[in-house]
A and B are shown apart, each in its own frame.
Chain A
Amino acid sequence: MVARAAGRHVGIGLSCFIELTGPGAQFYGIGGAPISGQEGATLRLEPSGAVTALVGVTNQGQGMPLALAQIIADEIGVGVEDVTVLSGDTAMGPYGGGTWASRGTPIGGAATLLGARALGERIRRAAAVLLEAAAEDIVLDGGRATVRGSDRSLTLKEVARAVHFRSNELRGLEPSLEATVHFTNPTPWTFTNGAHLAVVEVDADTGAIAVRRYVAVDDCGNIVNPALVEGQIAGGIAQGLGGALSEWCVYDEAGQPLATTLMEYAVPTAEIMPAVELHSLESPAPGLPGGFKGAGEAGTTGAPAAILNAVNDALHPLGVMLTDQPLTSERVWRAISLARGRPAR
């Protein structure tokens, strides 16, 4: 209000939204496409006592291997540095759909969690034989298999070396420290939600829009790693801002694309992108082991609406409402000129 009184065109925009994440087969498989809706994880305990996991979900820069390593580390009771997560080779990994539609953590994370539990069970059973205890009494923690309430324990390396090299000590137990589990979402998808707020300032003389503040609350279920989630949300907001403000594959009247280099196609730069204030809520996905939901697309979903509403809030006193994205400076300037009774040339 103070800014407006000073003649500045400042506006606030809200955006409340939902987003479907973690689809199973319902997007493509049921339509006949050879796209897997399930996801697999193969985990093994190496003779060193470290865990190797092969997964179907891929990493395009999100940090998926770290998130899955965190899930595994908790189940096996080892440090995250003792877990190696590999993916991206059809000859090596379990069959799966890959990472898209915000399914990496809800589906791939669930498969990995179940795989880690299955590996944990194998470790407990082997340790139980070696420690002459019941498998349900073996606790995995701190890199050790310990008989609950006792000081009898083995390091995971000792368990692994016994299974791999001295399987005669297993008294007939299958000498395996490997488990593969596959998982698919039993429901079509799980929904995330969020609420975003943008504050913008519009230069009425040039039509330029500056994003002054951006606050986001996102609920993507149980969070595995807040830093990775924030990276996804912030990056998503950047691409949402791009779509709302500047990115445009323009064609001329003959069908020639006019934006075919980064000189003409304006991705948001650090100059455009504000510092974003990120907050989270955690409503677990009810149908998924781990309760994780997807985070990859929420920022892109919420940002254009918040920007559009903020710009229209700023321009309302001028009698302008914009409904065509991207809100390029030219479009904004033309709309303001028209409203001021000065036809845009």
Chain B
Amino acid sequence: MTARHVGARLKRPDDPRLLTGRGRYLDDLTLPRMAHVAFVRSPHAHAVIAGIECDAARLCPGVLAVLTGPEAARLCKPYRGVLLHYAGMKTGAMLPLATDHARYVGEPVAAVAAESRALAEDAAARVVVRYEALPAVLTPEQARERPPIHPDLPDNVIYETRLAAGDPAGAFAAAPHVYRRRFTTGRHTGVPMEPRGLVADFDPFTRALTLWISTQVPHMMQAVIADLFGLAEQRVRVIAPDVGGSFGIKIHVYQDDMAAVALALLLGRPVKFVATRHESFLSDIHAREQRIDVEVAAEADGTLTAIRAAITAPVGPYSAFPRSSVVEGGQVLRLLPGPYRIRHYEATLAVLAQNKVVTSQYRAVGHPIAAAVTESMVDVVARDLGLDPAEVRRRNLVRPEELPYTSAAGNVYDSGSYQAALERLLEAAG
């Protein structure tokens, strides 16, 4: 009988190839007649684009095309990151390049295609954009008070909802102990070793587009790009070469990527765009920026009875496309009860627009925020009641005989080892 492979600690046959520099990442791809793209990005968090002067850039050596917002908008449909099951959510549309307003530092305003990246960057430096700075929205309070970032979003509110189960008001009124805290998490991002990049090769005769892109989602990119650029889906081929990390960064439709595709359509020759590290920080989705005001009700023995929370998720000026910028807050809304037997729950979520980089799904979407809040509150309870934090958890964790268990937030925990994992941890830690 052949030894079973499932469960075996085998080494990756790809490792020697990748570790000795023989990987074929996106930037290793070179096609004949390939043009390179560099971007002019907004230096303002919020500004009117009063004018763009491209003539000097067009005259620079090696320049093949300079694309501005209105020109890109003729090739690519506007797109909105709205998910219908988040009832009532709304967002302004994105385009490959900003047209009348720039809404975050780093938003692409013009794209230059040239014979080399260096020539494209030199020419991009000659593009003159006249901005009229506007007050920026940089906090949830400013989102509520300041004029709208986008005309389609009159109150800067992308999404609001409320979730309740059991009798939270009654549980809090009856609880001998109630604890309140405010938690915040800072914006961060995924920083894959290999930045985002693509090579778009358009054949104007058959209108076929081949797109090599560092991505987690080839079929999604095929569907989206065919739709946005009016191409036949079966003529859009998406190929992911070796991908050097992603962590959720490479599952989104980025404005600069779409501008590079637009240039490929315009030029009829292959176009490469690879983000520099600096550009990555200005354009890769951010995540995690949230504020959570939480209250927990507990019995004297450490039994947790109820949670009440107000979740504020300040995101970017647009909801990310097509996965949106509301899922992270939605996850926290549904995950705050954690692995605990809490029957009374009430939480609100407000997703608010800001003039910062667009946010969306990064590794563990919402989970680290929710776990940090809930677990901190369990320790607050234990500390105040003079109980062992492990014992408070033991008392409240879902028990094996309760599985499958439907949480107060409506999640069905289909299986698991909630109590056993804690016991194993305590044993392992000694």
With a cutoff of 8 Å between Cβ atoms, the chain A residues found around residue B415 in the complex are 190-191, 221, 283-286
Q: Are B323 and A28 in contact (CB under 8 A)?
A: yes
Of the residues A36, A63, A218, A298, contact of B220 by C-beta under 8 Å? A36
**A65 neighbours in B (Cβ, 8 Å):** 14
A254 close to B240 (CB less than 8 A)? no
Bound Cα distance A120, B369 (Å): 45
Asked whether any CB of chain B lies closer than 8 Å to the CB of A172, the reply is no
The reply to whether the CB of B251 lies closer than 8 angstroms to some CB of chain A is yes
Task: Say whether, besides A195-B421, A243-B185, A323-B184, A35 and B217 are in contact (CB < 8 Å).
Answer: yes
Once A79-B2, A197-B429, A309-B375 are accepted as A-B contacts, the answer to whether A88 and B281 lie under 8 Å apart by CB is no
What residue in chain B is nearest A78 (Cβ atoms)? B2
| B417 / chain A contacts, CB cutoff of 8 Å | 193, 219, 281, 283
A66 at the interface (CB under 8 A from B): yes
Residue B189 CB within 8 A of the other chain: yes
Asked whether, in the complex, the Cβ of B281 is within 8 Å of the Cβ of A304, the reply is no
Chain A min CB distance to B9 (Å): 5
Interface string of A190-232 (1 = CB under 8 A from B): 1111111100000000000000010111110111111110000
**B215 near A74 (CB under 8 angstroms)?**
no
Is A301 an interface residue, CB under 8 A from the partner?
yes
Question: Are B85 and A31 closer than 8 Å at their CB atoms?
Answer: yes
**Which of chain A's residues 233-268 have a Cβ closer than 8 Å to chain B?**
236, 239-240, 242-244, 247-251, 253-257, 259-262, 265, 267
Pairwise interchain contact B364-A236, C-beta atoms closer than 8 A = yes
Contact among B9, B185, B422 with A225 in the assembled complex (CB-CB below 8 Å): B9
Q: Tell me the count of chain A residues lying within 8 A, CB to CB, of chain B.
A: 125
Contact call B219/A95, Cβ cutoff below 8 A: yes
- The size bracket of the interface on B is 35 or more
Q: CA–CA, A31 to B327, complex, Å?
A: 11
| Contact partners of B380 in chain A: CB under 8 A | 321
Which residue of A17, A99, A141, A297 contacts B1 across the interface (Cβ within 8 Å)? A141
The answer to whether B416 touches A254 (Cβ under 8 A) is: no
Check if A281 sits within 8 Å of B222, measured CB to CB: no
Interface 1/0 per residue, B410-430 and A, CB below 8 Å: 011111111011101110110
Determine whether the beta carbon of B363 is less than 8 Å from that of A217: no
B12 touches A257 (CB 8 A): no
A277 in the interface, Cβ–Cβ < 8 Å? yes
Residue from B6, B238, B380 whose CB has the most chain A CB atoms within 10 Å: B6
Instruction: Give the interface centre of B4, B245, B424 by most chain A CB atoms within 10 Å.
Output: B424
Question: Is B244 in the interface zone, CB < 8 Å from A?
Answer: yes
Distance of A213 Cα from B429 Cα, bound (Å):
9
Q: Are B245 and A61 in contact (CB under 8 A)?
A: yes
> B191 on the interface (CB 8 Å rule)?
yes
- The answer to whether A219 touches B368 (Cβ under 8 A) is no
Q: Is B11 on the interface with A (CB-CB < 8 A)? A: yes
Among B2, B277, B412, contact of A188 (Cβ-Cβ < 8 Å): B412
Chain B residues in 8 Å Cβ range of A325: 183-186, 372
A33 touching B191 in the complex, CB below 8 Å, given contacts A79-B2, A90-B238: no
A79 to B9, CA, bound (A): 14
* Chain A CB within 8 A of B389 CB: yes
Q: Which of A2-10, A52-60, A335-343 contacts B (4 or more CB under 8 A)?
A: A52-60
Q: Is the CB of B239 within 8 A of A227?
A: no
Q: Please give me the 7 A-B residue pairs with the lowest Cβ-Cβ distance, nearest first.
A: A255-B45, A31-B83, A88-B240, A305-B375, A34-B223, A300-B364, A297-B364
Between A and B, 12 residue pairs with Cβ closer than 8 Å are A16-B393, A18-B339, A18-B413, A58-B216, A60-B243, A81-B13, A190-B415, A193-B416, A197-B426, A223-B7, A308-B372, A308-B376
Q: Which residues of A contact B (CB under 8 A)?
A: 13-20, 27-28, 30-36, 56, 58-61, 63, 65-66, 69-71, 73-74, 77-81, 87-91, 93, 95-101, 141-143, 187-188, 190-197, 213, 215-219, 221-228, 236, 239-240, 242-244, 247-251, 253-257, 259-262, 265, 267, 277, 279, 281, 283-287, 296-298, 300-306, 308-309, 312-313, 316, 321, 323-326
Apart from A27-B327, A306-B375, 18 more pairs, CB < 8 Å: A32-B82, A56-B219, A58-B215, A60-B247, A61-B243, A63-B12, A70-B8, A88-B241, A90-B218, A101-B365, A141-B1, A193-B413, A219-B420, A224-B6, A227-B11, A255-B105, A256-B105, A297-B365
